[in-house]
Amino acid sequence: MSVPETKFTQSGEVTIAYQVVGNGSLDLVMVPGFISHLEQAWEDPSFSRFLLHLASFSRLILFDKRGTGLSDRIGDIPTLEERMDDVLAVMDAAESQQAALFGVSEGGPMSVLFAATYPDKVSALILYGSIAKGGRAPDYPWGDDIEDEGMKAWLEGWRTEWGSAYGIESRAPSMAEDEVFHKWFAKYMRLGGSPSAVINIFKMIQAIDVRDILPTVRVPTLVLHRVGDLVVDIDQGRYLAENIPGAKIVELPGEDHLWWVGDTEALVNEVQVFLTGEQSTIEIDRVLATVLFTDIVDSTKRAAEMGDSRWKDVLDTHNVVMLREIDRFRGRTVRSTGDGFLAVFDGPGRAIRCGSAVSRELRQLGIEIRVGVHTGEIDLMGEDIGGISVNIAARVLAEAANNEVWTSRTVKDLVVGSGFEFTEKGNYSLKGVPGEWGLFSVEA
């Protein structure tokens, strides 16, 4: 068949390649896992059949994530926040106001974060062979440890054997003896990314952790997982379904991790029934967001020392800087607290950068502030916001030191690969919030 036209759109300074296939009544964005190559995918009959089946009932939107395929190659490991921006850019370019997300494998965590952050843009969420966390933990006994000797050997294999269909025995065991598929898959991998890019992606996967975000997903969710998946254990799919409210899980037979091989008819049929069946309308009054609180250090004392007139000048200067920087980093000012601000952002990295920028600029003007940042589910109440996440952000602020930006562990985990450096400040009992919370300061 002829390859669909590849188009390009800008996401900040990065160019993202995308395709649109089909003209169904619903939009479906395919979020790739690991690496991809838009045009080479159509050269494999099984892959093209899979995509055309999806496009038979949807307007299918495909893209290569930054650093892979036909999209711009980058030197750094992309963050989940940057990849969310890429999806927004592709949807805008495709003139899609709302779409279902189909996140496969490593594309699943970003899809979860996107669905929780932009529920008005996501009609449904589908996760295939996916994960909530990349590495193992005492309460998450799956995944790999980057320091394991076996994992080191695996990564070295990617470096030395890249382009030779390395790993096909675990990713597509049903096709491991097919010489034609072998040849195509080797080329697909070569075109999809370089050895160093692949290793960087693996390192980023190890650091992913969206477990805290799962309960905040409010869109209809379908989890698909092959019972014998040799790459991602079925229990990781079950974990996703158990922790996303109302999620449905379908356990499919087979060992293949690649979604376009094996019994793809059964897989796509589940997607079609899920997306085209009757679904209740959900009132979106809760979303995932990053909450930023600031306040001026010793404001009451300084106001008394300065007098009303001079203190008003200080506040006016402070307010101008705060409003400008919140807007610059794509935040929304919720309200002024008198000697501080409450703002929300659609990405934790932008909130941290905003907090660092205002702290630095105001300190140069002789105004000391402190900043608290937390990511979680918030209640939308007109122009105001509420909920436990707002309270947590306020408590993080209360613990923060002068001229510092402090965050919760949730924020730290979500900005992996962003280049931020954190100092662990310890575990804190936050007033009115159950449990202990690990807090971190952001290094300037």
What pLDDT score does 201 carry? 79
**Do residues 246 and 384 both lie within one domain?**
no
pLDDT at 282 over 80: no
**What is the phi-psi region of residue 227: left when phi exceeds 0, alpha when psi lies from -120 to 50, beta otherwise?**
alpha
Each residue of 109-166: pLDDT tens digit?
Answer: 999 999 999 999 999 999 999 999 988 888 999 877 667 777 777 777 777 777 777 7
**CATH code for position 291:** 3.30.70.1230
Lowest-confidence pick of 74-78, 237-241, 404-408: 74-78
What is the pLDDT confidence band of residue 391, given thresholds at 50, 70 and 90? very high
Longest dimension (CA), the chain: 82
| Residue with more model confidence, 37 or 300 | 37
Q: How confident is the model at residue 78 (pLDDT cuts 50, 70, 90)?
A: confident
The answer to whether the pTM exceeds 0.75 is: yes
Query: Distance between CA 438 and CA 37 in Å, rounded?
Result: 40
Last residue of a domain, one of 276, 307, 334: 276
Integer Cα distance of 250 and 139 in angstroms:
24
Range name among 192-201, 317-326, 330-339, 364-373 with the lowest pLDDT average: 192-201
Q: Among residues 267, 203, 366, which one has the least CA distance to residue 51?
A: 267
Check whether residue 76 and residue 107 sit in a common domain.
yes
Owning domain of residue 382:
286-442
Q: Is residue 78 situated within a structural domain? A: yes
Q: Can you tell me which residue has the tokens 């300037």? A: 444
Measured between alpha carbons, how far is 118 from 107 in angstroms, rounded to an integer? 16
Pairwise CA distance, residues 219 & 259, whole Å: 23
Residue-level pLDDT at 267:
94
**What band does 301 get if pLDDT is binned at 50, 70 and 90?**
confident
Q: Which of 76-85, 250-259, 428-437 has the highest mean pLDDT?
A: 250-259
Mean local confidence (pLDDT), 427-432: 89
pLDDT for residue 278 is more than 50: no
The whole-number pLDDT of residue 283 equals 58
What was the pLDDT predicted at 50?
95
In a domain, 281, yes or no: no
DSSP string, 280-294: PPPP--EEEEEEEEE
pLDDT score of 381: 84
> Do 35 and 136 sit in the same domain of this protein?
yes
281 pLDDT above the threshold of 60: no
CA 219 – CA 182 distance, rounded (Å) = 38
Q: What does the pLDDT read at residue 163?
A: 74
96 domain residue, yes or no: yes
Q: 79 and 13 share a domain?
A: yes
Whether 397 maps to a domain, the answer reads: yes
SS3 category, 361:
helix
Does residue 171 sit in the same domain as residue 199?
Answer: yes
> What confidence score (pLDDT) does residue 284 get?
62
Residue 416 in any domain: the answer is yes
What is residue 286's predicted lDDT score, i.e. its pLDDT?
84
How far, CA to CA in Å, does 196 sit from each of 144, 157, 202? 19, 12, 10
If asked whether residues 137 and 258 sit together in one domain, one would say yes
**Which tokens belong to 253?**
């037979």
Residue 197 has pLDDT above 60, yes or no: yes
Among the candidates 276, 300, 315, a domain finishes at: 276
Share of the chain above pLDDT 70, in %: 97
Q: How sure is the predictor about 167, in pLDDT bands with cuts at 50, 70 and 90?
A: confident
What distance lies between CA 208 and its chain's CA centroid? 9
Task: Determine the pLDDT at residue 280.
Answer: 44
pLDDT above 70 (res 444): no
206 with 341, same domain: the answer is no
pLDDT of residue 216: 95
The reported pLDDT for the residue numbered 311 is 86
15, 115: one domain: yes
CATH code where residue 117 lies: 3.40.50.1820
At 309 the pLDDT is: 87
Residues 170, 313, single domain; the answer is: no
pLDDT band of residue 219 (cuts 50, 70, 90) is: very high
Residue 414 is inside which H or E element, if any? helix 409-414
Structural domain total, the chain: 2
- Does 262 map to a domain? yes
Query: Both 219 and 315 in a single domain?
Result: no
| Residue 2 located in a structural domain | no
Is the predicted pLDDT of residue 13 greater than 80, yes or no?
A: yes
Rounded Cα gap, residues 38 and 18, in angstroms: 7
Any domain includes 43: yes
Is the same domain home to 367 and 320? yes
- Same domain as 271, residue 336: no
Strands 369-381 and 384-386: antiparallel
Q: Looking at residues 11-29, what average pLDDT do you find?
A: 96
Average pLDDT for the chain: 91
Considering 244, 276, 308, which residue would you say is the last residue of a domain? 276
